[in-house]
Amino acid sequence: MCLALPGQIISLSDHSDALARTGRVNFSGVSKEISLAYVPEAKVNDYVIVHAGFALSILDEAEAQASLQAFQDLADFQEDL
């Protein structure tokens, strides 16, 4: 099973080559450097779906928040077991 996670772009690299473009993405307090090659239109504060180090698509904020809440609900449920 593969899992893609939502995260918010907090900074962008300064690459002239669109395929080498990266950004720092925040995943609920943990930030990672992520390739933005597949979403060249992405900008700071956008939410993106990330899998295997690549941002695959841009999400609107409401959709991202709903996904993050679902992950939190799952974590809370597992803690109660």
**pLDDT tens digits for range 21-35:** 999 999 989 999 999
Q: Which amino acid is at 17?
A: D
Q: By the 8 A CB rule, do 7 and 47 touch?
A: yes
**pLDDT tens digits for range 39-78:** 999 999 999 999 999 999 999 999 988 988 888 898 888 8
Supply the range of the domain harboring residue 62: 5-80
Scan for tokens 């899992």, then name that residue: 3
Report the CATH number that the domain containing residue 74 is assigned in CATH. Answer: 2.30.30.140
Spatial distance between the Cα atoms of 8 and 45, rounded to a whole number of angstroms: 6
Q: In total, how many domains does the chain have?
A: 1
